[in-house]
Amino acid sequence: MLLKSLQKSLKEIADPKIAEHSLRFFKTGKGEYGEGDIFLGIRVPVLRQLVKKYRDIKLSDVKKLIKSKYHEERLCALLLLVEKFKKGTDHEKEDIFNFYINSAEYINNWDLVDCSAHLISGAYLENRDKKILYKLAESPNLWERRIAIMSTFYLIKKNRFDDALKISAILLDDKEDLIHKASGWMLREIGKRDVIQEKKFLDKYYGKMPRTMLRYAIEKFPEEERQKYLKGQI
């Protein structure tokens, strides 16, 4: 019952103008990373308000919602999963984690990954074996690779950098700009907490790092130092 009510609410607040903008913003054209995605046209803050209202929805219904053809319904499902994970029992967290890892076909844009990976897979794996992240980092699926690196954000916030650094190294040869951005972002986050660790990685790899990854990683560096990395003068 709550699922139908939530879906009804989403359709009632849908805005065609926002949907049209989202089609372009999330690259849904032929051959683009979001090809074929469909939008209702709902801003994220509005979705978050709905999540608060429907946080008691059954997990089984959330699992149905994530399979929706509508981007915002999938995003809403992920935000609900995050809430349920935070408050779940150990058994429930394990169930949510396993479901999440096996649902990459629905977590199929950068915003869907970024709102959930660190708070579900990152949090779940904090004190567990991380080998699944390394497997995902080698996946042919773009979104699984992004889940791998973005999951490390949770660990970075705990001042645990090893997995982020190792996975960033695995992704150095990735062909996708979305992966370069995510890896560079995580390196920058490491630098906020331990710039020495970030610079060790940069000094070893900056010569072969994709330009986007490097630019993201050194974004907060002093301009003179940024230019030295960009020009290969370190």
What is the chain's pLDDT, residue by residue, as a tens digit (234 residues)?
799 999 999 999 999 999 999 999 999 999 999 999 999 999 999 999 999 999 999 999 999 999 999 999 999 999 999 999 999 999 999 999 999 999 999 999 999 999 999 999 999 999 999 999 999 999 999 999 999 999 999 999 999 999 999 999 999 999 999 999 999 999 999 999 999 999 999 999 999 999 999 999 999 999 999 999 998 887
Best CA proximity match to 123, nearest among 84, 163, 155, 89:
155
Alpha-helix residue ranges (DSSP H) falling in 90-222: 90-101, 110-114, 117, 123-124, 131-137, 142-157, 162-170, 177-193, 195-205, 211-217
Cβ contact 168:181 at 8 Å: no
**Reduced to 3 states, what is the DSSP secondary structure of residue 78?**
helix
